[in-house]
Chains A and B, each alone.
Chain A
C-alpha cells in the first residue's frame, strides 16, 4: 500500500492529469443531461451578471464604423419605407380582392449583447433578457440585417444565444427568387460565411440570389433574410451544388439583437439539443 502511495506521489502530475482527462470526458458525455443543463443555466446567471458589469467598456473603432453604417442604412431604409408604403397599400387592396387573411405581425424583444464566448470556434452571445421577459430556449434571434441565431439556454434575467456560425446550427432556408429549398450550416472557416446544403445540381440557384428562412422551418419564422449566394460550385463527385452564402449579419459586430418571441414546438428543439444533428 505504502509503495503504491509513494508511486502515486512520485507521479502525481500524471495522476492529476489523468483524473482531469477522465472528468472532461465524463462532462462531454453528460452534455445533454438535464442536471448538467441546469448547472449551465445557473452559471449563465452568474456569468451574465458579471459580463453585464464589464460590458460598459466601449470599442471606439467599432462605434465609429457602426455610426457610419447606421447613417448609410438610415438613408437606405428611408427610401425603402417610401416604396413599401405604396406596396403595402397595393398589397392590402389585392388581398381584399382575393380574400386572403392578414398575417399576424411578428413579436420581437430587443436585447443587448452583454457577453460573447471566450474561445475561438465557439460562437455564443449572452443577452440581457431572460425568462422573466418571455424568452425561452429555441426562440429565433435576429437583427436589422437578418437571422443571427437561436436561444440555447435562458435563466431568469439572461439568455445564451448560439449564432449561425456554430457547430450545431442548422436552418431550413430557401432561395428567395427560385424558392429552392436547402439546409444552411456554418462552413467552419469565415465567421460570416455559410453553406447551403442538399441543393441538387439540376435546380436553379445563381450567384447574387438572396437566401431566407424557409416556410418549412419549425424553428424560425418564414422570410427572415439570411444572406446572399456568393459562389455556386459544381463538384463532379457530388450530386449537389456546393453553395457558399455570405451572411447579411456581420457576426464580428453584434451589439443589439431582437428575440422572436414565439417558441418552436418543444419536441423539435429538444430533439436538436439531444442529437445535435436534427434539422430544424
Chain B
C-alpha cells in the first residue's frame, strides 16, 4: 500500500469521525420530528463516487459499526445497511468523471435511491421479531429520512458543481 493511499485512508476516516460528531450535535439541532439527515450516508456515497466500491464498503461498514455501537442495541444491522449503501453507490463510480458525478443533479438522485435502499434494509432487519409493521414505519420515517438526507446532500453537490465549472475534472 502506497504512502498516498494510507494518507487518504486516514483523511477519510478523520472526516468520517468529524461527521459522526456533527451527526450527534448538529443532527439533533436540525431534526424534524426526530428524523435527522444521515451525514454518514452522504459521506459513504461521496467516498463511493470519489474512490470506488471497495473504499465505500470499507468506510460504510466502519460507519455502520460505530452507529450500531453508539445506540447500544442490536449490533450488525447498521453495518449491513451502510456497507450495502457503499456497495450500491460504488456502481456509479466513474474514474474519469469524479467531479462531474459529484456535481451533477444525478448525485442527489443517487443519494435518494441509496438512502431508500439503506432504509429498507435497516427497517426490514431492525423490525424483525417485533410487532411494528415494516410498511407502517417505513412509509413515514424511512421515506422522510431519505428525502431529508437528499436535501443535505445538495451542499457537497453545489460545492463540486462550482469546483467542476472552475477547475474541471479531478484526478483520481
Contacts and interface: CB of A to CB of B under 8 A. Distances in A.
A185 interface: yes
Contact of B136 (A44, A185, A189, A251): A189
Interface in A123-170: 123-124, 126, 152-153, 160, 162, 166-168
A115 B29 contact: no
A21 B83 contact: yes
Interface in B16-56: 20-21, 23-29, 31, 33-36, 38, 40, 52-54
Given A40-B72, A189-B141, A24 B126 contact: no
Contacts, number: 168
Interface in A76-107: none
Contacts of A20: 57, 60-61, 79-80, 83
A119 B122 contact: yes
A17 B87 contact: yes
Contact of B76 (A25, A47, A160, A252): A25
B67 A119 contact: yes
B119 A120 contact: yes
Nearest to A59: B29
A132 to B, nearest CB: 18
A7 to B, nearest CB: 16
Contacts of A21: 80, 83-84
Interface residues of B, number: 59
A51 interface: yes
Interface residues of A, number: 58
B141 A152 contact: no
A124 B57 contact: no
B127 interface: yes
Contact of B137 (A119, A160, A189): A189
Contacts of A119: 38, 67, 71, 78, 122
A167 B24 CA distance: 21
B74 interface: yes
Contacts of B57: 13, 16-17, 20
Contacts of B28: 59, 116
B172 to A, nearest CB: 16
B160 interface: no
Given A20-B61, A59-B29, A124-B72, A13 B90 contact: yes
B144 to A, nearest CB: 8
Interface stretch (A26-34, A228-236, A263-271): A26-34
Given A188-B127, A189-B137, A116 B33 contact: no
A220 interface: no
Interface in B108-149: 119, 122-123, 125-127, 129-133, 136-137, 140-142, 145
B75 interface: yes
B3 interface: no
A188 B70 contact: no
Contacts of B87: 13, 17
Nearest to A17: B87
27 contacts: A16-B57, A16-B58, A27-B76, A28-B80, A31-B74, A31-B75, A57-B26, A59-B28, A61-B29, A115-B24, A115-B70, A118-B20, A118-B36, A118-B70, A119-B67, A119-B78, A120-B35, A120-B141, A126-B70, A153-B73, A162-B73, A167-B74, A167-B127, A185-B131, A186-B132, A187-B132, A189-B141
Interface of B: 20-21, 23-29, 31, 33-36, 38, 40, 52-54, 57-58, 60-61, 64, 67-80, 83-84, 87, 90, 119, 122-123, 125-127, 129-133, 136-137, 140-142, 145
